[in-house]
Amino acid sequence: MHATLLGTFLSLGAAASALAGTDFHAVSSSLTSSVLHGGDRELTALGFVTSSSVQNGSNFLHWADGSLTNNIGTYGWTAAMPRDMGSSNSVSGNADRADSATPFGGESSSTGTLSEVFGSFGGYKNMSWIIDGEDNGAWTLDLLLGAGQMLNADADSNTVELSILERGGNSDLRVRGIRSDGSFTSAIDMLRGATGATGWTLDTIEIGGSQSVKGVGISLDASWQNLVGFRFEAANGMNGPDLVGVGVTNALVPSPGALALLGAAVLVGRRRR
Ligand SMILES: [Ca+2]
Ligand SMILES: [Ca+2]
Ligand SMILES: [Ca+2]
Ligand SMILES: [Ca+2]
């Protein structure tokens, strides 16, 4: 191909990618695998339809802080949030676990924490520990990346920056990016119809039978930049999303603050020499 023509095609391709917007890639069960340790589930591979991205357990271990607001109150990363432990569905969004999973630390007081659900369970994210939502209940969850880390969406609609696993594949969930300056992106909705089965099921304390765990990989719009976390919102009409896990790309970058600190350290080092 003529060099000028090739250049034109390449720039057209880049422009098309930049305008790609948000794309949802259903989880593909044939590209997904996990292992059970007793009743605790470790994700080993997570693949998506029409995406080159393959995630694994490491993508789910980037969360270092967060808070959940439900109909009872607001609970920080390590705060003991009250759970529904039986037939009562009085908490709109709360920690819940597989019937066969290891109990939460606060099991005897009917509590659980965000750090248990979204942090490391001895080296992996325990997919048997989730946030259970109620049918018409509302809750808001902020999850924050590790200090000094930031996510910038690329301009490739086939690469997944954010993955969401939901118990049942029968609920919707609203998503916003949280920028490093504290502002929020516009919202996108993960719709239940966009999800695909992981291949495993989950029966928790709050429900009386097993349901398929489904999920989606999201290629975020290229305008989603400088993200230090995400806000997830469940609202009336979304059928009580049950959040099993949230993964992000491992291609995180240092935040401007972290870069400034790094730069200062380099300058100090130079002055000392
Ligand atoms: Ca509940
Ligand atoms: Ca992408
Ligand atoms: Ca659900
Ligand atoms: Ca059960």
Cα(125) to ligand 2 centroid in Å equals: 23
189 located within any domain:
yes
Say how many Å lie between the CA of residue 45 and the centre of ligand 2.
18
Instruction: Please check whether residue 139 is in contact with residue 234, taking contact to mean a CB–CB distance below 8 angstroms.
Output: yes
Whether 3 is covered by a domain: the verdict is no
Distance 203 CA to ligand 4 centre (A): 5
pLDDT-derived band at 16 (thresholds 50, 70, 90) equals very low
- 264 Cα to the center of ligand 3, angstroms: 47
Spatial distance between the Cα atoms of 268 and 271, rounded to a whole number of angstroms: 5
Q: How far is CA 127 from CA 33, 117, 254, 257, in A?
A: 12, 8, 28, 32
What tens digit of pLDDT does each residue of 242-256 get?
A: 999 999 999 999 987
Ligand 3 is an ion; its neighbours by CB within 5 Å are 168, 170-171, 242
Instruction: Read off the pLDDT of each residue in 42-66 and give the average, rounded to a whole number.
Output: 98
Which residues, in sequence order, are bridge partners of residue 186?
none
12 occurs within a structural domain: no
Q: How confident is the model at residue 87 (pLDDT cuts 50, 70, 90)?
A: confident
Is 23 in contact with 16 (CB distance < 8 Å)? no
The residues, any chain, with a CB within 8 Å of residue 31's CB and separated by 6 or more, are: 45, 46, 47, 48, 54
The alpha carbon of 172 and the centre of ligand 3 are apart by a number of angstroms equal to 8
- 261 C-alpha to ligand 2 centroid (Å): 29
End-to-end CA, the chain: 53
Q: How far is the CA of 41 from the centre of ligand 4 (A)?
A: 16
Concatenate the DSSP letters of all residues of 137-193 into one string: --EEEEEEESTTEEB---S-TTS-SEEEEEESS---EEEEEEETTS-BPPPEEE-GG
| Residue 27 is assigned to a structural domain of this protein | yes
In the chain, count H helices and then E strands.
3, 19
Kindly state whether residue 2 falls inside one of the protein's structural domains: no
Ligand nearest to the CA of 219: 2
252: closest CA among 118, 148, 142, 141? 148
Q: What is the whole-number distance in angstroms between the Cα of residue 71 and the centre of ligand 2?
A: 34
Per-residue pLDDT tens digits for 169-202: 999 999 999 999 999 999 999 999 999 999 999 9
Q: Is residue 14 part of a domain?
A: no
Average pLDDT on 85-102 reads: 93
Q: How far is the CA of 243 from the centre of ligand 1 (A)?
A: 12
CA of 273 relative to ligand 3 center, distance in Å: 59
Owning domain of residue 90: 21-272
Task: Report pTM.
Answer: 0.89
Tell me whether residue 5 is in a domain.
no
- Provide the number of structural domains found in the chain: 1
Nearest to 168 by CA among 125, 142, 115, 130: 130
> What is the distance in A from the centroid of ligand 1 to the CA of 203?
14
In a domain, 11, yes or no: no
Length of the chain counted residue by residue:
273
> Which ligand is closest to the CA of 165, given by its number?
3
Tell me the average pLDDT of the chain. 91
Q: Which residues surround ligand 4, an ion (CB under 5 A)?
A: 99, 203
* Ligand 1 centre distance from Cα of residue 137 (Å): 9
What digits encode the pLDDT tens for the residues 112-171?
A: 999 999 999 999 999 999 999 998 899 999 999 999 999 999 999 999 999 999 999 999
